[in-house]
Amino acid sequence: MTPRIPRTLPSITELEVRYVTDAAANGWGERCYDYIHRFEDAFKAHLGVDYAIATSSCTGALHMGMAALGIGPGDEVILANTNRIAVEIN
């Protein structure tokens, strides 16, 4: 029997549920970027860096990262199993 590699799962707590509920209730129209900017500012502070860019999805982030690294056809990229579908490019 081949040993199995454990899969990754998201960590969703009551805090994330509150944030999503707040954004769904209040993040529309002229306030749509408030949540993105709050996240980017908190992420920059957490990392101690000057710049951070949030994307609308993991797919967008992975594509942007691979493009920035010059990864293309024929290159091998190893990711968590939860990202496989997002980055599958024909």
Cα distance between residue 28 and residue 31, in whole Å: 5
Alpha-carbon radius of gyration of the chain? 17
Cα distance between residue 29 and residue 65, in whole Å: 29
**Where does the pLDDT of residue 63 fall: very low under 50, low under 70, confident under 90, or very high at 90 and above?**
confident
Residue among 86, 82, 41, 80 nearest 62 (CA): 86
Residue among 37, 90, 43, 89 nearest 63 (CA): 89
pLDDT (tens digit, 9 = 90+) per residue, 24-61? 998 888 888 888 899 899 999 999 999 999 987 777 88
Q: Where are the domains of the chain?
A: 12-54, 57-90
